[in-house]
Amino acid sequence: MNALTKILIAGAAILGVPTAAAAQEIDVETIVHNASAQAYYQGENGRARARMTIVDSQDRDRIREFTILRTDVGNEDNGDQKFFVLFSRPADVNGTSFLVWKNTQSDDDRWLYLPALDLVRRIAASDERTSFVGSHFFYEDISGRSPVEDDHELVETTDLYFVVESRPRDPGAAEFVRYRSYIHRESFVPVRIDYYDADDTVYRSYNALEVETHDGYPTVIASEIVDSRTGGRTLLRFEDVSYDIDLPEGVFQERYLRNPPRALLGQQ
């Protein structure tokens, strides 16, 4: 975490985040709320190009490239959101699109369009913690997990991090028993998240690798999921990140899955 720590400290200095703020007393619900807002609610909306490198246990890799649009419903941190994802590479997934309506008070709505079959498939809520297009990221990793789904405890505060342990309120709805988050105290960037199974073993980890400031927001532009069980990992890198763009909410509709708004997605 040392290299990332340097990046985060530099970013906090650039943003003028006061060091004294990190020393103030803060409750765990506020920490988790702020971390979720930092990770998934930058600006009122956003757009980015993404490249996934999926690596198996034998170091063989596959590439996925896509563009993602996001809008906040009601411009409320940790509230409802909508996402639209359009894949461009490789050729066998070109034109595949993915739509999410993230609902904080009910199950999320998710649709996946498969152009080879000309089929729109509804993704069940029970599938949200399954692989996103063959990667080690889950569907839920892309759109975010609501803080209200878990109970949280602040187990440690270091010079740099809030260490928070979380357990699902509905244990049957998640494959993990608990997870531990390392949240940077000044920026609230979630730097590392370790997921534990019933044997109290870390089987899956998220790591933030690079942070940059875009449109005034500290943004994780490179992150990684490591699967300790399979020996595989997936690197996710964002480029051309922009926030608060001219983005009509009407594009986040099922009818656009077959005919995506390519101009808004920066694709031809």
Cβ neighbourhood burial of 100 (10 Å; 0-12, 13-18, 19+): buried
Q: What is the pLDDT along the chain (268 residues), one digit of tens a residue?
A: 444 544 554 444 433 444 444 446 899 999 999 999 999 999 999 999 999 999 999 999 999 999 999 999 987 788 899 999 999 999 989 999 999 999 988 888 999 999 999 999 998 877 778 899 899 999 899 989 999 999 999 999 999 999 999 999 999 989 999 999 999 999 999 999 999 999 999 999 999 999 999 999 999 999 999 999 999 999 999 999 999 999 988 899 999 999 998 777 876 5
* pLDDT in the model for residue 249: 83
The CATH T-level fold of domain 2-259 is outer membrane lipoprotein receptor (LolB), chain A (2.50.20)
Report residue 257: phi and psi, to 5°.
-65, -40
* pLDDT in the model for residue 268: 55
* pLDDT in the model for residue 128: 79
d(CA 204, CA 5) in angstroms, rounded, equals 21
Residues forming a β-bridge with 114: 119
For residues 208 and 197, is the Cβ–Cβ distance under 8 A? no
* pLDDT in the model for residue 3: 46
pTM of the predicted model as reported, rounded to 2 decimal places? 0.86
- Which tokens sit at 76? 């409320």
Give the Å distances, CA to CA, from 191 to 54, 138, 160: 20, 18, 11
* pLDDT in the model for residue 165: 99
* pLDDT in the model for residue 105: 85
